[in-house]
Every structure is written in C-alpha cells, then in structure tokens.
C-alpha cells in the first residue's frame, strides 16, 4: 500500500480566512502531512519556521503579502500559492511558482505539493 502523499512532511499554512484554513489543514492532515498553523499573519508564520513545504494565501487582511514566500525561496523550501485572485497578481520573481486558484480542488493542491517536494 502506498504511503500518504505528504507522509511525515511538515506543511506550514498561511491563510487568514478561518473556514478555508480549516479546509486546507484537514486536507493536508488526511494526506499524511503535519500541519504547522494555520497562521493569519506573516510574522507568526515566519516565527514558526522551519517547514518542509508551505501553502500560502497571498492576500492577508486586504494586503498582498510576499515576505514569507521570499524567505521560503531563500531557504529552498517549496511552496504553493493559493488565492482567489488570478495568478497575474504574483510578482515576476514568483511567477514560476505553483498556484492553486480558490476554491481549490483537494487533489489539485496535494498534487502540487507532492510535485514541489520532489
């Protein structure tokens, strides 16, 4: 039998919408991940590092946030953006990153994380 997709991987979650955060955390846990968070502020998420990978909302409390993405990139930590906005809002430096449009499909998000962790 195959191991869960995220078996024993720590996944940091940055999401300011409670119900979406719960959905993501439940999904990650069901896929075998160890969830760190969810966090609704970049400062709290930064303080919780390290992580094996991350799922990042880009609009927190009405402001676009890329500070955590920049830090994760510096550290070589894979991550997936999740947003209700179009990927065109990503700055050029992150345009190549996996992007999951909300509302997301669970298989889509898990597949993106699995690929990013390779």
Residue with tokens 């190549």: 96
Query: From residue 45, how far is each of 8, 38, 88, 100, 115 by CA, in Å?
Result: 19, 8, 24, 20, 23
- What architecture is the 10-116 domain classified under in CATH? 3-Layer(aba) Sandwich (3.40)
Rounded to two decimals, what is the model's pTM?
A: 0.91
Closest by CA position to 56, among listed 95, 8, 107, 21: 21
User: What is the tens place of the pLDDT at every residue in 8-54?
Assistant: 899 999 999 999 999 999 999 999 999 999 999 999 999 999 999 99
Q: Residue 7: what pLDDT?
A: 92
The Cα–Cα gap between 14 and 108 comes to 18
What are the boundaries of each domain within the chain?
10-116
The Cα–Cα gap between 69 and 97 comes to 10
pLDDT category of residue 106 using cuts at 50, 70 and 90 = confident
């Amino acid at each position: 039998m195959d191991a869960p997709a995220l078996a024993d991987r720590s996944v940091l979650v940055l999401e300011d919408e409670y119900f979406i955060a719960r959905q993501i955390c439940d999904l990650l846990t069901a896929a075998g991940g160890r969830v760190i968070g969810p966090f609704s502020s970049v400062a709290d998420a930064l303080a919780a590092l390290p992580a094996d990978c991350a799922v990042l909302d880009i609009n927190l409390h009405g402001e676009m946030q890329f500070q955590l993405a920049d830090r994760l990139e510096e550290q070589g930590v894979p991550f997936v953006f999740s947003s209700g906005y179009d990927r065109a809002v990503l700055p050029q430096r992150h345009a190549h990153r996996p992007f999951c449009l909300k509302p997301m499909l669970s298989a889509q998000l898990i597949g993106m994380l699995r690929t990013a962790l390779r």
